[in-house]
Amino acid sequence: MSIQNLVLLIAGVINLIMSFIVFNRGVKNNKINRYFSLLTFFTFLWGVGLILFNYGISIELSRFFASFIYPVALMILVSVFYLTVYFPYKSFEVSTLYKILVIIFSLFFTIFCLWGYKIFVPEAAILPVVSVVYEPWSYLLYTIILITLMLASIIILFSKFFKAEKPFKLSLKLTLIAIIMGSVAGSYFNLFLMYFNHNNYNHLGPLFTLLMNGSVFYLIFLSKK
């Protein structure tokens, strides 16, 4: 196994463990637990998809997993967005219209990528290296939605930080730094570089996201002990 895939595997396993721990603490009546558990679970799936893409088992599987990782990454950002709404306290109500738009786009893009992956990834090759071609207009739309969710999450945390009482400021500041770090790294290594087939660094997005998730895990759960 390559170092690249080993990093993805280790990061995925750690994320799955965090997801399991938080899920067992209860997610029905605790929305922080719910969205953090979803965040780490989707990050685990993201890593699995990247491993299978990197292996280049066949052209069709490479096309499928090259497409699969994008709706999963979208769900990571949706989870981050809702987590920032509720952590460390709920500061506003997300409008019904916004919730509906998020659900519609998430469902549409997931169906499009899983069942229409040949449209999203019209070309692929596995020799001499795994490489794919993405449909530019749908990729652009996806990028706009993803960046919108990132910015919305960061703006929410900034707003909470400036309005928060002193006991919450440190945790909000560290969460803000962690989410900015994970979002920027994930966007650069797994959104920008992968579009141009620079796939040798696609393990770095999940690695930085693991650091983000681990920081938030500590702040939300372990620091309370």
| 88 close to 174: Cβ distance less than 8 angstroms | no
Q: What is the pLDDT of residue 133?
A: 95
Structure tokens that stand for 30 in this block: 């605790």
pLDDT of residue 223: 57
How many Cβ atoms from other residues are within 10 Å of residue 98's Cβ?
A: 12
Q: What are phi and psi of 88, to 5 degrees?
A: -80, -5
pLDDT at 224: 55
- Token duo for residue 175: 């969460």
CB 206 within 8 A of CB 8: yes
Query: Quick one: pLDDT at residue 109?
Result: 94
pTM, entire model: 0.93
Bridge partners (DSSP) of residue 132 are 124
- The per-residue pLDDT for 29 is 87
- Give the closest residue to 126 by CA, choosing from 51, 190, 189, 60: 60
Closest C-alpha among 62, 73, 203, 57 to residue 134: 62
Q: Where exactly are the structural domains of the chain?
A: 3-224
Q: Which CATH superfamily is domain 3-224 in?
A: Rhodopsin 7-helix transmembrane proteins (1.20.1070.10)
pLDDT in tens, 129-177: 899 999 999 999 999 999 999 999 999 999 999 888 887 888 889 999 9
Gap between the Cα atoms of 31 and 175, Å rounded: 17
The answer to whether the bond into 71 is cis (omega within 30° of 0) is no
Instruction: Enter the tokens of residue 119.
Output: 């449209």
Closest CA to 121 of 40, 42, 49: 49
Name residue 73's amino acid. A
Q: Which pLDDT score, from 0 to 100, does residue 32 have?
A: 92
Provide the Cα torsion 197, 213, 42, 208; round to 10°. 10
In sign, the C-alpha dihedral spanning 130, 135, 137, 139 is negative
pLDDT for 170 equals: 85
Question: Which positions ≥6 away from 136 have C-beta within 8 Å?
Answer: none
Secondary structure in 3-state letters for 43-79: HHHHHHHHHHHHHCCCHHHHHHHHHHHHHHHHHHHHH
| pLDDT under 70: residue ranges of the chain | 222-225
C-alpha 177/C-alpha 162 separation (Å) is 14
